[in-house]
Amino acid sequence: MGVSVGQEKPKMFAKGTEITVGLVVKKLNEILQARGKKGTDRWGCPIDPPELWQKCLGCIEELLELLFAHPEIFVGENVLEESENLSNPEQDVRVRGCTCGPQVSPGAPRCAQVTAGAVAEYVEHLKDEGRVCAIIARLQRYLQGKGSPEELCRVYLRRVLHTYYKFDYGAARRKGGAGQVKEEGQEKEEEEEEEDSEALMERLCRFVYAKDRTDRIRTCAILCHIYHHALHSRWYRARDLMLMSHLQDNIQHADPPVQILYNRTMVQLGICAFRQGLIKDAHNALLDIQSSGRAKELLGQGLLLRSLQERNAEQEKVEKRRQVPFHMHVNLELLECVYLVAAMLLEIPYMAAHEFDARRRMISKQFHHQLRVGERQPLLGPPESMREHVVAASKAMKTGDWRRCHRFVVNDKMNGKVWDLFPEAEQVRAMLVR
């Protein structure tokens, strides 16, 4: 059981010190200098993170323009301090510095995180995502041929992190319109932009797999690659990559952000398996997350109230920084519904086949808990919530009435909340009928 850690009170005087008038006045002056006078604005002007973020983007774009316009200037972390050249006009300018450090992180989503719950402002800040991706792509072009493999791996990972969670609706449109003829110049200009996300992820991740010397960057790239495959229903490629990586064996030793990415990837794998009708694989992938009762926290989509009591203010601040931006969230109701339906499709036939077996095992404790909750209801009206629909469907399946079971699982109320959220909604409904 965790114990809440309180912040220590500041110590005014050391133990055993003789407290005199002069010592008290001196300490009072120190406190006043640290706090400032009441009613004054110590900063001079309010800080506006979005405004500072725009200025930061502008500065980075200006610096990149400068580097492209003056190829005689080279900035890199592999430049030693003694080999820097800032003043000799007869030689190329060489500056020691890192062009792909934390300042080129996925900043637009982080900036949107500080927007105080205003949907319009959040959407407005998300428009900067394209600008950030363009900066990372330009930085990638700058480092190719100049940067070290370590720098390229880092900037490639940045681009992967901005790509892996986005469904590529344009890929299908491009395949459908493959017969259209474009002018040669236009085709060259759009070549990189037209590269579908599957080919882009494959190219970037393969470079990281081959060149990275740190386990963390490679691990993040593998997880993003698996997530992207699963998101686009490439189940067998995603599953094989997960099995070959052996990440399940030592992920508990990774740092929290990597563990959150791993949890998100496993959830996406489970949802992908469900769409393909691989119910057992879906249940196995989602079991650990759903049985914990902490899916929201494990996916980096919020902090549970009970766990907040176990953290001090500094720990809470660190935890909040790790949260995944809202537009990258996995729908928790969709996740729970997929898990419960998968458990129902496994558990009810198993219960029917082993009805008189005293040693019958339990496949899903959470599913059985929902069944018990439903049985304890004194009045059984029409199901309203998603859980009640799954319980009603389970009771219909127990009696062998699959049509009634299907009507409870797929209906107008559930369509809007769950099944319509799938890119291939009709295929999922057809799979459930089958």
C-alpha 398/C-alpha 349 separation (Å) is 8
**Contact between residue 363 and residue 346 where contact means Cβ atoms under 8 Å apart:** yes
Cα three-residue angle 127-131-132, rounded to 5 degrees: 105
133-188 per-position pLDDT tens digit: 899 998 888 888 777 888 889 999 999 999 999 988 876 565 555 444 444 444 44
In contact, 388 and 411? CB cutoff 8 Å: no
| 284-294 mean pLDDT | 90
Which tokens in the block code for residue 117?
Answer: 């719950």
> What residue has token string 């010592």?
23
pLDDT band for position 106 (cuts 50, 70, 90): very low
The span from the first CA to the last CA of the chain, in angstroms, equals: 46
DSSP 85: B
Of 184, 203, 76, 72, the C-alpha closest to 137 is 203
Q: What is the pLDDT confidence band of residue 283, given thresholds at 50, 70 and 90?
A: very high
Residue 243, token pair as written in the block: 């099995």
pLDDT, tens digit, 9 for 90 and up, residues 190-223? 444 567 889 999 999 999 999 998 889 999 999 9
- Buried/exposed 62-77: b ≥16 CB within 10 Å, e otherwise: eebeebeeeeeebbbb
Residue 16 has pLDDT above 50, yes or no: yes
How many other C-beta atoms are found inside a 10 Å radius of the C-beta of residue 326?
15
- pLDDT score of 189: 40
Q: How many other C-beta atoms lie within 10 A of the C-beta of residue 272? A: 24
Alpha-carbon dihedral 333, 337, 338, 339, rounded to 10 degrees: 100
Give the model confidence (pLDDT) of 219-260 as tens digits. 999 999 999 999 999 999 999 999 999 998 889 888 999 999
Q: Report the alpha-carbon angle 300-334-164, nearest 5.
A: 55
Q: Please say whether the dihedral angle defined by the alpha carbons of residues 243, 248, 253 and 259, taken in this order, is positive or negative.
A: positive
Q: What angle do CA 73, 76, 81 make, to 5 degrees?
A: 95
Mean pLDDT score of the chain: 79
Give 3-state DSSP helix, strand, coil % of the chain, rounded to 5: 65, 0, 35
**pLDDT tens digit sequence for 355-400:** 777 677 778 888 888 888 877 777 677 878 888 888 888 888 888 8
Closest residue by Cα to residue 384 from 406, 419, 357, 414: 414
How far is it, in rounded angstroms, from Cα 424 to Cα 233?
10
Q: Residue type for 386, please?
A: M
What pLDDT, on a 0 to 100 scale, did the predictor assign at position 89?
A: 76
Closest by CA position to 365, among listed 277, 292, 266: 292
CA 132 to chain centre: 17
Residue in this structure with the two tokens 């200098």, named with its chain if needed:
33
- Rounded CA Rg of the chain: 28
| C-alpha 177 chain-centroid distance | 32
Q: Quote the pLDDT of residue 42.
A: 46
Please determine, for residue 116, whether its predicted confidence score (pLDDT) is greater than 50.
no
pLDDT at 279: 93
Q: What pLDDT, on the 0 to 100 scale, is given for residue 70?
A: 82
What's the average model confidence in pLDDT over 388-417?
85
Rounded to 5°, angle at Cα 426 from 424 and 430? 120
Element (H, E) at 95: strand 93-96
Question: Is the pLDDT score of 274 beyond 70?
Answer: yes
233: phi > 0 → left, psi -120 to 50 → alpha, else beta; which?
Answer: left
Query: Is the pLDDT reported for residue 112 higher than 50?
Result: yes
Residue range 216-227, pLDDT digits in tens: 999 999 999 999
CA 95, CA 87: separation in Å to the nearest integer?
11
